[in-house]
A and B are shown apart, each in its own frame.
Chain A
Amino acid sequence: DQQVKQNSPSLSVQEGRISILNCDYTNSMFDYFLWYKKYPAEGPTFLISISSIKDKNEDGRFTVFLNKSAKHLSLHIVPSQPGDSAVYFCAANAGGTSYGKLTFGQGTILTVHP
């Protein structure tokens, strides 16, 4: 039972353009959502998060949008840079925090071409 799904295994974008990564969830108890980035041979690193009481959160080049009625969230990266090339995971928590039991999606490999 995949409660968090990232349906695009990979995404290729030109440097300077927008990258949009998508994530869907099925569990309506999830109330906190996070995006992580992972480089090879490293652990995931936190990017940005959003609480279910909000529909948008921005941090520099990164913006996360949450559509609760559609159970969908997306991560926008503008402008995309070659250093953004990594695997991106969305994750969800039903405890309203960023450090409880997180349920992760399968990941999307982002490649940003110079």
Chain B
Amino acid sequence: DAGVTQSPTHLIKTRGQQVTLRCSPKSGHDTVSWYQQALGQGPQFIFQYYEEEERQRGNFPDRFSGHQFPNYSSELNVNALLLGDSALYLCASSHQAGYTFGSGTRLTVV
């Protein structure tokens, strides 16, 4: 049984570009949450999706947007990338219980 799968594992983007990160939840999970982990910090909650709707949102600007598909997979989109967006982006899935985290996507903005 595969856990949470994130793609790509690493990518490098230029300031001002747009990026899309992808997440496939663990089998049986219907809720997907996204976290940003900057170097030396703990993960910060970006938003959570359930039934294809954004259910909760953290303190992130509108440049961060997401989507959940009918198969429960999810995308995180970041527009107008800033150097400060460089971080590890973690996807976590759940179903009325605790999170299972993916290994993350390491985004570097240059």
C-alpha gap A103/B103 in the complex (Å): 19
The answer to whether B42 touches A104, judged by C-beta atoms less than 8 angstroms apart, is: yes
| Contact A43-B104, Cβ < 8 Å, known A99-B31, A99-B96, A100-B56 | yes
| Contact A43-B90, Cβ < 8 Å, known A99-B99, A104-B42 | yes
The answer to whether A44 touches B98, judged by C-beta atoms less than 8 angstroms apart, is: no
Number of interface residues of B (CB under 8 A): 25
The answer to whether A89 touches B90, judged by C-beta atoms less than 8 angstroms apart, is: no
C-alpha gap A10/B51 in the complex (Å): 40
- Which residues 88-107 of B sit at the A interface, judged by CB distance below 8 A? 90, 92, 94, 96-104
Taking residues whose C-beta sits less than 8 angstroms from the other chain, chain A's interface range is 20 to 34
B101 to chain A, nearest CB (A): 3
Bitwise, B37-81 to A at CB < 8 A (1) or not (0) is 000111111001000000010100000000000000000000000
The answer to whether B98 touches A49, judged by C-beta atoms less than 8 angstroms apart, is: yes
A48 to chain B, nearest CB (A): 11
Can you show 12 pairs from A to B with CB atoms below 8 A apart?
A6-B42, A34-B98, A43-B90, A43-B104, A46-B98, A89-B43, A100-B56, A103-B45, A104-B43, A104-B44, A107-B40, A107-B42
